[in-house]
Amino acid sequence: MLSPENKKRILVLGVGNILWADEGFGVRVVEEFYRRYTIDDNVSILDGGTQGLYLVSFLEQADCLIVFDAVDYGLSPGQLKLVRDDEVPKFTAAKKLSLHQTGFQEVLSAADLLGRCPRELALIGCQPLDLEHWGGPLTAPVRVQITPAIELACNLLAQWGAPARPRAAPLPASERLLGNNIDHVNYERAQPI
């Protein structure tokens, strides 16, 4: 068992753009994970949004990485797929929404070039249905995969010696990962489904 001084540093990261329907899957999952669970001090939770290469510094500090993202695996809409370690880079080249958006594959490559890529990688990807609806909510087949994606992450965290624990009480609105009406519930309440 690892002592507190040598615990693995773990990053749980959601990437994507909540303004493009299912492209927001990764952000919505990490947001919900944060709302439902507490974690040890060696685990960080981050909404990476569309920060691209700015995320490299966060990866440099992690021994283990879990990424939630919408990924075009060529599967049925809403299907989840977990890929690990060396398989991760080949699946992260999903369609970019604009020329200025850096794909997560480039973020991993940059961290690897610096010799600071996490030793253990896990990508929990969901096959999107709609990436074109500007301002749209997650589609139904993608939305229902939030809980199963969180369960996969909880299993990984337990394997890495940092189990997530359900919160005893709901998280107050002031402590949400996202606020200002862009959190999942408030944002989607204002949207036609």
Q: Per the annotation, does 22 bind a ligand?
A: no
Q: Give the integer Cα–Cα distance in Å for 102 and 43.
A: 25
- Residue 184 assigned as binding residue: no
Contact assessment for residue 9 and residue 59, using Cβ atoms and an 8 Å cutoff: no
By DSSP bridging, strand 80-84 and strand 165-166 are: unpaired
Contact 136, 124 (CB under 8 A): no
What secondary structure does DSSP assign to 99-139, as a single string? TTPPPHHHHHHHHHHTT---SEEEEEEE--S-S--BTBPPP
The C-alpha atoms of residue 176 and residue 128 are separated, in whole angstroms, by 25
**Binding-site residues from annotation for Ni(2+):** 23, 69, 100
